[in-house]
């Protein structure tokens, strides 16, 4: 598959101003040709999404926006929650069940399944994170991202052999989903992972935080 999906997850980084200056720098670094065979989804924190909608659309080519989480509740008295109905006005994609949310916010597989249902109801494309081939996957997920915790933010990505063996299991069980890998992807190693025909794309955390570094990462294949 030549149109690979690259998802930049900024996690809990960047004020609105910092993100806007990232977008300005990114626009200077990238040309339409660099992205002709790629779909790039930028996932900033919630507070910036509404402001970035016109900014990402003004880029050539435009980037797509994603949220890093979504509420399991549709609407109502759920203080602090951001619902799929609200996100539908702003983003096309949503990451669900990232291992950091499972670890620090104690999110369970059941929470993840409820979030997927809500996201699908409001036509968001769901990127559901799994930690191994044994993580239960909601049957209606659109994209599954394999993110072994030992590879996240450590500088030690999983091996291509490991990723491909998980990809085979997942694709057998869920033939219509796209399969991504995330964990310590960098400018130096991205080309190695991109040669796998079993991988539909990558989720990039730390290496997406600097505009120049992320643009150069996108140009590596
Ligand atoms: P990392 O994060 O690229 O910083 O390892 C990946 C992720 O958690 O999405």
Largest distance between two CA atoms of the chain: 47
| Ligand 1 pocket test target in 45, 203, 213 with most atoms within 8 Å of CB | 203
Q: List, in sequence order, every residue forming a beta bridge with 96; answer none if it has no partner.
A: 128
Strands 201-204 and 93-96: unpaired
Q: Cα–Cα distance between 196 and 204 in angstroms, integer?
A: 17
Q: How far is the CA of 206 from the centre of ligand 1 (A)?
A: 6
Q: Is 9 in the pocket of ligand 1 (CB under 6 A)?
A: yes
Nearest residue (CA) to ligand 1, atom 1: 205
Q: How far is the CA of 157 from the centre of ligand 1 (A)?
A: 10
Q: How far is the CA of 76 from the centre of ligand 1 (A)?
A: 32
Phi, psi of 24 (to 5 degrees): -65, -45
pLDDT surpassing 60 at residue 82: yes
Closest residue by Cα to residue 134 from 104, 98, 173: 173
The pLDDT, as a whole number, for residue 217 is 95
pLDDT digits (tens, 9 = 90+) for 95-133: 999 999 999 999 999 999 999 999 999 999 999 999 999
State the catalytic residues.
Answer: 98, 147
- Across the chain, mean pLDDT equals 96
pLDDT digits (tens, 9 = 90+) for 20-35: 999 999 999 999 999 9
Q: In the block, which residue shows the tokens 């402001």?
A: 51
pTM of the model: 0.97
Q: Which atom of ligand 1 is nearest to the CA of 145?
A: 9
- Would you say 84 and 70 are in contact if contact means Cβ atoms under 8 Å apart? yes
* Mean pLDDT confidence for 66-78: 98
- Would you say 125 and 94 are in contact if contact means Cβ atoms under 8 Å apart? yes
Q: Is 205 in the pocket of ligand 1 (CB under 6 A)?
A: yes
pLDDT digits (tens, 9 = 90+) for 35-69: 988 999 999 999 999 999 999 999 998 999 999 99
Angle between helices 211-218 and 16-29 (to 10 degrees): 40
pLDDT surpassing 70 at residue 2: no
Burial letters for 20-29: b for 16+ Cβ neighbours within 10 Å, e otherwise?
eebbeebbee
Q: Cα–Cα distance between 46 and 24 in angstroms, integer?
A: 19
pLDDT surpassing 50 at residue 1: no
* Mean pLDDT confidence for 167-189: 95
Q: Is 157 in the pocket of ligand 1 (CB under 6 A)?
A: no
* Mean pLDDT confidence for 84-101: 98
Q: Is 130 in the pocket of ligand 1 (CB under 6 A)?
A: no
Q: Token pair of 52, please? A: 């970035």
């Amino acid at each position: 598959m030549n149109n690979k999906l690259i998802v930049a997850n900024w996690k809990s980084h960047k004020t609105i101003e910092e993100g806007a200056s990232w977008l300005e720098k990114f626009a200077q670094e990238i040309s339409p040709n660099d992205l002709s065979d790629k779909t790039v989804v930028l996932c900033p924190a919630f507070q910036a999404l509404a402001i970035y909608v016109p900014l990402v659309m003004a880029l050539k080519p435009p980037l797509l926006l994603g949220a890093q989480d979504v509420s399991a509740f549709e609407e109502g008295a759920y203080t602090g929650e951001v619902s799929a109905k609200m996100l539908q006005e702003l983003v096309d994609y949503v990451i669900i069940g990232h291992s950091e949310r499972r670890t620090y916010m104690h999110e369970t597989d059941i929470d993840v399944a409820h979030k997927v249902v809500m996201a699908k109801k409001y036509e968001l494309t769901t990127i559901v994170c799994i930690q191994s081939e044994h993580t239960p996957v909601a049957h209606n997920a659109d994209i599954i991202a394999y993110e072994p915790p030992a590879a996240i933010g450590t500088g030690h990505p999983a091996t291509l052999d490991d990723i491909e063996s998980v990809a085979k299991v997942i694709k057998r069980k869920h033939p219509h989903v796209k399969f991504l890998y995330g964990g310590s992807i960098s400018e130096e190693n991205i080309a190695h992972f991109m040669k796998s025909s079993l991988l539909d794309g990558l989720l990039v955390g730390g290496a997406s935080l600097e505009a120049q570094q992320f643009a150069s990462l996108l140009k590596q294949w």
